[in-house]
Amino acid sequence: MNDTEFFEFCLDAYKHERDEADRLYTKMPIGITANMIIGGAIVYLLTGDYVGYLFTRIDAFAYYTAATITAALTAASIICLALSIVPRQYKHIGLPHMWAEWRKVAEAKMRATSDAYTDAQLQEYISEHTRAQLMNQLCQAAFENRQVSERRSSLFFRAICLTLVSLIPLLIQGIFLIILWFQFHSVLTP
């Protein structure tokens, strides 16, 4: 791999990490919508009719316990989603005017330290030195941005897992609501 290929590799890695951040933002509505649906289902299924039986009937206890677990899992999922959405500091390679200024300073230093270079040699040296600095910045930025993206992706994945797991106690809550409703509202009860 020559210098040009390595530079292209570093630039592609840098761009890839920037694109990963954008792709993660496009996935966020899935998690937000799922949590809103589950939150709505918790509220819809939650009734205070059986609170008096909370510690005297196992089915009432299981119903309210399942509702509490679902709410806790949904809250944890929302926290993970919020943490993955919060803007993170991605490393940038600098704006073009900053690089132009850097080149001017480097050229001035080279002119001040050595008269042995011709203008063409000096420009060649500055170009190579700029390319090396830019490559170093690109590699470092791609590495640091990858770490940030991995942390954000991990939090998003955790949020989705928590959302999916919260469906289990939500289903249990619904089953126990049906059981309680039939026991208290059955037409067969004398």
DSSP the chain: --HHHHHHHHHHHHHHHHHHHHHHHHHHHHHHHHHHHHHHHHHHH--STTGGGTTT-HHHHHHHHHHHHHHHHHHHHHHHHHHHHS---------HHHHHHHHHHHHHHHHHH-SSS-HHHHHHHHHHHHHHHHHHHHHHHHHHHHHHHHHHHHHHHHHHHHHHHTHHHHHHHHHHHHHHHHHHH-TT--
Token pair 């939500």 is found at 170
**DSSP per-residue letters across 139-169:** HHHHHHHHHHHHHHHHHHHHHHHHHHHTHHH
The pLDDT, as a whole number, for residue 74 is 96
Residue 111 has pLDDT above 80, yes or no: no
- Write down the mean pLDDT value for the chain: 85
Reading the block at residue 45, the tokens are 């299924």
Q: Provide the percentage of residues in the chain whose pLDDT is more than 70.
A: 95
Amino acid in position 43: V
7 contacts 131 by C-beta, under 8 angstroms: yes
Distance, in Å, from the CA atom of 184 to the CA atom of 2, rounded to the nearest integer, reads 79
pLDDT at site 161: 96
What backbone phi and psi angles, to 5 degrees, belong to 56? -115, -20
Burial label for 179, CB within 10 Å (0-12, 13-18, 19+), is middle
Q: Which of these ranges, 118-127, 147-156, 171-180, has the smallest mean pLDDT?
A: 118-127
Residue 187: which pLDDT band, with cuts at 50, 70 and 90? Answer: low
Letter string b/e over residues 89-110, b meaning 16 or more CB atoms within 10 A of that residue's CB: eebebeeeeeeeebbeebbeee
